[in-house]
Amino acid sequence: MSVASPHIPIKYVSLLILVVQNSALTLVFKYSTNQGKYATSTAVLLSELLKLVVCFTLVSQEDQPKRDKKASTLQRIFGPDSWKMIIPAGLYTIQNNLQYIAVKLLDPATFQVTYQLKILTTALFSVIMLRRQLSVKKWISLLLLTLGVILVKMSSQKSQGNSDLYSQRTLGFLAVICACLLSGLAGVYFEKILKGSQSTLWVRNSQLAFFSLFPALFLGVMWMDGESVRTNGFWYQYNIWTFGAIGCQAFGGIIVAMVVKYADNILKGFATSISIVISSVISIFLFNFQITPTFILGASLVIYSSYLYGLD
């Protein structure tokens, strides 16, 4: 008589990984910027380079003719339609730089909640660009999401004690909103390209990472942080937390791709909810974050709206 060995379904494993990644990304970003004043654009560049290496490896492991596997991999990645990834690559690169700016200026819990506005921007761009029809339930969830973020913003204003802090956090919110707009536009554009192409997800991610290197280098490192890099060097004030942030950002897209493949929208909503709770609790101990009733109400609305949006 054989006993079947217990196993955890892959969708729950991917869900657990997504929760850890979502929570760690914001917290490690914040802690790394507190520990060292490094040029964050260099971290964005390195994360795209690491992502390219990982995605290239995954493409090379896909079913291909064994005769000249390396040449076949390069041909698939740099095919005649690879140029289509230039636009989303530029959008994602700017978004990633804005994430660092927002995390510097906001506490992790507020950033985590506010960043869920990308659900709203993605939905709106999908209606405009993909002619997608949203159900009444989804529109209600988007309305609740917006209301929740407004309450979190009001909570942030109440907890501020001086005008400098108010200006700092207002700039942080603006950075989050811009990042959400770019995330929504890039995500829908990426989806549109995938639907009209026979290339695999990993091929497209390889192209995305490759074309992201150019804006990350020229727009980020050389233009945005050029003076700092020339004066202090590329690796100025890098530490283990900096490399942790780079790893979280690089593997984030790969984890999301895995979750899209194996988990459903309801599970992704749960992952978002759990991540917000974890970030809020840890922020209390690491960053002296003060949870107010208004924040709890706003965060609860955001969590519920994320769950409601994924029900259809």
pLDDT for 32-42, tens place per residue? 888 878 999 99
Q: Considering the domain boundaries, does residue 304 fall inside one?
A: yes
Q: Considering the domain boundaries, does residue 67 fall inside one?
A: no
Confidence of residue 312 (pLDDT cuts 50, 70, 90): low
How much is the mean pLDDT over the chain?
83
Q: Considering the domain boundaries, does residue 300 fall inside one?
A: yes
pLDDT for 62-83, tens place per residue? 766 555 556 678 888 888 888 8
* Token pair in block for residue 220: 């980020």
Q: What pLDDT is attached to residue 4?
A: 43
Nearest 5 degrees, angle CA 11-CA 260-CA 8? 10
Q: Considering the domain boundaries, does residue 265 fall inside one?
A: yes
Tell me the C-alpha distance between 283 and 154, whole Å: 18
Cα-based torsion angle of the residue sequence 103, 106, 108, 114 in order, rounded to the nearest 10 degrees: -90
- The whole domain housing 238 covers 10-61+72-156+164-311
CA atoms within 13 A on the CB side of 39: 24
The tally of domains found in the chain comes to 1
pLDDT for 226-259, tens place per residue? 999 999 999 999 989 999 989 888 887 677 666 6
Q: What pLDDT is attached to residue 174?
A: 93
CA atoms within 13 A on the CB side of 12: 3
Q: What pLDDT is attached to residue 35?
A: 80
Record the pTM: 0.84
Would you give the DSSP letter of residue 6?
P
Q: Considering the domain boundaries, does residue 204 fall inside one?
A: yes
pLDDT above 80 for 102: yes
Tell me the C-alpha distance between 261 and 23, whole Å: 21
Would you give the DSSP letter of residue 135?
P
End-to-end CA distance of the chain: 43
* Token pair in block for residue 268: 């992704």
Question: Which tops the pLDDT comparison, 129 or 159?
Answer: 129
pLDDT above 70 for 265: no
pLDDT above 90 for 1: no
pLDDT for 179-199, tens place per residue? 999 988 998 888 888 777 778
| Cβ burial, residue 230 (10 Å; 0-12/13-18/19+) | exposed
Q: Considering the domain boundaries, does residue 170 fall inside one?
A: yes
* Token pair in block for residue 9: 């379904």
Looking at the chain, the number of H-run helices and the number of E-run strands are 13, 0
Q: What pLDDT is attached to residue 243?
A: 93
pLDDT for 7-52, tens place per residue? 666 667 777 777 887 788 888 888 888 887 899 999 999 999 999 9
